[in-house]
Amino acid sequence: MKRFAVVLAILVIAFSFGCEKEAAHVAEGEMAPDFTLTDLNGQPFHLSDFRGKVVVVEFWATWCPPCIASIPEMNEIETEYKDKDFAMIGVSLDDDIDILKDFYKENGLLYRVAIDDQHLDTEYGIFSIPTAVVIDREGKVVARHMGYAPGTLKDTIAKTMRGEPIN
């Protein structure tokens, strides 16, 4: 009985921390926290470099099946909008840069990718991947898409590009 109470207390504490992390995420309407990362070509960049553009920051990993399934759609989005005040940034939660570089080449990713070496997943409140954060031209978060549901991110981007509210 005592063991059960200890396990229950641990679960309650763990659940509380999980809820706190979720509540700490950047909410829709808030400014997206700026960051500096280095892409796979060794080029440093800041989120603020893209002010004036609609930006999608997708948190993902090479070992995540839904993340891999989303790559064709992410490439389509990049191809459709790359010349239209738009930027896509893949923020990988992988630890090994060489594995990520190989994966990038083998899977034909078309958009900029960097490793999350600054714990942006924590700052942005990411607890599930893939999660795409859509940021408007002023730098505000307009939507968060957790998981991969074909077409939903495309719809959000199209509305954001037109300046329409996200329902």
Q: What is the mean pLDDT of the segment spanning 43-62? A: 95
**Is there a contact between 160 and 139 (Cβ–Cβ < 8 Å)?**
no
Which residue reads 């009985």 in tokens?
1
If pLDDT is split at 50, 70 and 90, which confidence band does 35 have? Answer: very high
Residue entry with tokens 């992390």:
21
- What is the pLDDT of the chain when averaged over all its residues? 85
* Confidence check: pLDDT of 15 > 80: no
So where are the chain's domains? Answer: 27-162
Q: What angle do CA 146, 148, 149 make, to 5 degrees?
A: 110
Q: Are 114 and 38 in contact (CB under 8 A)?
A: yes
For CA atoms 91, 96, 101, 102, give the dihedral sign: negative
- Tokens 């990993």: give the residue: 61
- Considering the entire predicted model, what is its pTM? 0.82
Q: d(Cα 35, Cα 28) in Å, to the nearest integer? A: 18
- 27-162 belongs to which CATH class? alpha beta
The predicted pLDDT at position 2 comes to 56
The per-residue pLDDT for range 121-167, each reduced to its tens digit, is: 888 989 899 999 999 999 999 999 999 989 899 999 999 998 888 87
Cα 20 to chain centroid, rounded: 19
